[in-house]
Structure formats: structure tokens, C-alpha cells
């Protein structure tokens, strides 16, 4: 299996989407959504990160399965770090 060459159109479309999402996230920050401002900002950031990882970093086209394992495990351990730490610190006052 040789490496995948992403079409120019796809790259430009991803770039445009990333630029638009950047504008949207900055604009939405000024609209009062209560606690959902943070949620929206993080969802948009995660969409952007996914586009970069899957298309720009070619993770979607990787023929080597081990690479996908590395990506998923990095994400898993990051969520473990953040999730368990926050589960502790955010519930201390509830006891």
C-alpha cells in the first residue's frame, strides 16, 4: 500500500471550514448562552482538531493500523488524566 494523496479540493474545503469555525467560535463567545458558552467553544474546538487530525495529518488514510492505535490510546490516556482529576476536584465540596 502506498501513501494516500489527498485531493486539493478536500484540503481547501477543510481549510475553509476551519477558518469559518474560528470566526463562529469568536462570535458565539459574545452571545449569552449561560453555561453552554463553554460547551459550544469546546465542541467547535474538538471539531476543528478532528478535521486536522483526520485529513491534514492523514490519520484517516493511515494504512498502518498501529498508528490508529497510538492516536486512540493518546486520547484515552488524556481523557483518563482529565476525567479522573476533575472527578476528584469538582466533587470535593459536595461531601
Binding site for other proteins (CB under 8 A): 1-3, 5-6, 8, 11-12, 15, 18-19, 22-23, 25-26, 29-33, 37-38, 41-42, 44-45, 48-49, 52-53, 56-57, 62-64, 66-67, 70-71, 73-75, 77-78, 81-82, 85-86, 89-90
Q: Which three cell numbers, joined as nine digits, stand for 21? A: 469555525
Cβ closest to other proteins, residue 45 vs residue 60? 45
Cβ closest to other proteins, residue 23 vs residue 95? 23
Count CB atoms within 10 A of the CB of residue 45. Answer: 13
Q: What angle do CA 75, 8, 26 make, to 5 degrees?
A: 55
Q: Taking the complex as a whole, how short is the minimal distance between the CB of residue 24 and other proteins, in angstroms?
A: 11
Distance between CA atoms of residues 12 and 89, nearest Å: 42
Angle (deg, nearest 10), helices 8-28 and 36-51 = 170
Amino acid at each position: 500500500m502506498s501513501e494516500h494523496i489527498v485531493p486539493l479540493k478536500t484540503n481547501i474545503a477543510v481549510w475553509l471550514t476551519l477558518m469559518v469555525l474560528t470566526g463562529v467560535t469568536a462570535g458565539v463567545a459574545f452571545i449569552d448562552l449561560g453555561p453552554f458558552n463553554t460547551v459550544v467553544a469546546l465542541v467547535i474546538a474538538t471539531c476543528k482538531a478532528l478535521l486536522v487530525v483526520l485529513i491534514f495529518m492523514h490519520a484517516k488514510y493511515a494504512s498502518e493500523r498501529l498508528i490508529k492505535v497510538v492516536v486512540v490510546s493518546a486520547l484515552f490516556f488524556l481523557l483518563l488524566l482529565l476525567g479522573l482529576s476533575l472527578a476528584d476536584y469538582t466533587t470535593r465540596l459536595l461531601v
